[in-house]
Chain A
Amino acid sequence: MAKIEDLTDVVKRLLAEGKVRSVIAYETSLSGGKARPVFLKKTEDAARLTWDPTCVHNLVRFVVDEKRRQAGRKNPDPRPVGVVVKGCDSRAIVILLQEKFIERKDVTLIGVSCEKTGVVDDRKLAQKLAGRKIVKVEFDGADSFLVSTDRGPVSIPAAEVLADRCRECPAPSPVIFDVLVGEKAERAVPQPFGSVERIESLSQDEKWAFWEGQLGKCVRCYACRSVCPMCYCDECVADTINFAVTAETTAEEKARKIKWLEKSPTPSENTFYHLVRAIHLAGRCIDCGECERGCPVNIPLRLLNKKMEKEAKLLFGYDVGFDPDKPALISCFRDEDPEDFIR
């Protein structure tokens, strides 16, 4: 089990030696119970660190933001930024390296292994506790969580509150890291694409009825785009104005620019937006589940991205996020790629 003391030691050492400009990690939030992201800059801050099953966030998003911030500085700090990564987060780093958005020397990766379990699903846990307030959540052995509540501790089997993505996770320990806390673990996943297969078993009409209902809820807040570590494009088709407007841009130029989709949350436009997002994340989404967690109306967005991951695996034998030297999924091909759908 990844111990908090080990993690604190690593972070403390990195900060004391001044090898990193800051460490992006988790701390316990002020209201208690759940973890929240934190930027640690001073050696004494390391004591605030936490590592427990509520560390659900993918901190790689902050690496993307940090990269942008540094690029905008007059005197950028040449030191790398430290970041705590779980298995899924480390794969996000692999994708960013693959796409050359960051360089390996830009980051110091402190890997933590989820080993046999993973992180909790906030919604499942809240439902399970039925109104009791969480004080602390801890790993309890290999397959259960110990939840301290305001009305005493409860031990919950991990399978009941584990996030869906963790149940289908192919690599619970980081695939790329500088320091690893905890042990490298292999985990047998009986149904790596179980959730997607449930949708696939439906008829075309049932599928559409399902998605129409789900995407109809979308309010187009773009939270899924904001939390996604892969959504770092400077211009996005979903924005009304998706090109740089300067004082010299004429009204005619603005009018001539293609507007791919409307901003209004109508069913057709929502479907369009989510199709575009899914296809743009094909071969890039590493299933950290942040889009789904961030969604205020509970759209199961993972089911779209996971489907693309499944097809990448089945059609092209492509494993997403394991090898930083491999080209991206759609910027390579094999001669034997399937073409049975082509006349």
Chain B
Amino acid sequence: MSEEFEPKIVAFLCKWCSSAGSDLAGVSRMEYPPNVIPIQVMCSGSVSPLYIFSALNRGADGVLVSGCHPGDCHYIKGNMYARRKLALVKKLLEHMGLEPERFQMSWVSAAEGKKYTQIIKDLTKALKPLGPQTKLRRNP
């Protein structure tokens, strides 16, 4: 009897918007898949590409980076730097042959608990048919 594959998603959420958004989803008792491991960071701009590679290396099946909407950054323009930096990461991972679904970026404000649950639902659904991520994983 084989169990259905449950992907492990690492989510880097910015403290000021996305993390508050995920909190809102929690306190509002909205339901979403338990596959996500949230990591609070101070700003999406502080997410080094190294974090993403490292998450995939240590066994994540997918990575989500989420920050404030453009113009709403607590540090004025951190998310704009993130946008540029992580666009390159996405292109590089695709160039290496990793499935593009495995890395996702989103803007979630503190009021968008609903959007957050939807993103997690969609990401989990997209990752399920792909199976475990073994390309970058240490000792698969």
Could you tell me which A residues sit within 8 Å of B by CB distance?
196, 199-200, 204-212, 237, 260-262, 266, 268-269, 271-272, 275-276, 278-279, 282, 304, 307-308, 311-312, 315-316, 329-333, 335, 337-339, 341-343
Contacts and interface: CB of A to CB of B under 8 A. Distances in A.
A271 B96 contact: yes
A308 B88 contact: yes
Contact of A343 (B80, B105, B136): B105
A307 B95 contact: yes
B104 A343 contact: yes
B32 interface: no
B106 A207 contact: no
Interface stretch (B2-10, B22-30, B50-58): B50-58
Given A268-B140, A339-B87, 13 more contacts: A204-B100, A209-B97, A211-B97, A237-B50, A276-B50, A279-B88, A279-B92, A307-B91, A311-B91, A330-B81, A333-B80, A337-B87, A343-B107
Interface of B: 49-50, 53-54, 57, 70, 77, 80-81, 83-85, 87-100, 104-107, 115, 119, 135-140
B57 to A, nearest CB: 5
B52 to A, nearest CB: 9
A333 B87 contact: no
Contact of A304 (B50, B57, B95): B95
A276 B97 contact: no
A315 B90 CA distance: 12
B139 A204 contact: no
B97 A338 contact: no
A316 B119 CA distance: 27
A216 to B, nearest CB: 12
Contacts of A339: 70, 83, 87
A278 B49 CA distance: 11
Closest 7 CB pairs of A and B: A208-B97, A207-B97, A343-B106, A333-B80, A279-B49, A342-B105, A311-B91
Nearest to B64: A343
B107 to A, nearest CB: 6
A245 B2 CA distance: 49
Contacts of B115: 343
A208 B107 contact: no
A262 B119 contact: no
Contact of B54 (A205, A260, A342): A260
Nearest to B85: A330
A342 B49 CA distance: 16
A212 B87 CA distance: 23
Contacts of A266: 138-139
Contacts of B81: 330-331, 333
Contacts of A332: 84
B50 A200 contact: no
Contacts of A343: 104-107, 115, 119
Given A339-B83, A341-B105, A342-B83, A260 B88 contact: no
A207 to B, nearest CB: 3
B95 A271 contact: no
Contacts of B87: 311, 315, 337-339, 341
A287 to B, nearest CB: 16
B88 A282 contact: yes
A342 B106 CA distance: 5
Given A268-B138, A330-B84, A279 B89 contact: yes
B95 A276 contact: no
Contacts of A312: 88
A208 B98 contact: yes
Nearest to A315: B87
A211 B91 contact: no
Contact of B92 (A260, A268, A275, A331): A275
Contacts of A212: 97, 135
Contacts of B88: 279, 282, 308, 311-312, 315, 330
27 contacts: A200-B95, A204-B99, A207-B95, A207-B97, A208-B97, A208-B135, A209-B97, A211-B96, A260-B54, A268-B137, A268-B138, A272-B53, A272-B57, A275-B93, A275-B96, A276-B49, A279-B88, A279-B92, A304-B92, A307-B95, A316-B84, A330-B84, A330-B85, A330-B88, A337-B83, A343-B106, A343-B107
Contacts of B104: 343
Contact of A307 (B89, B92, B135, B136): B92
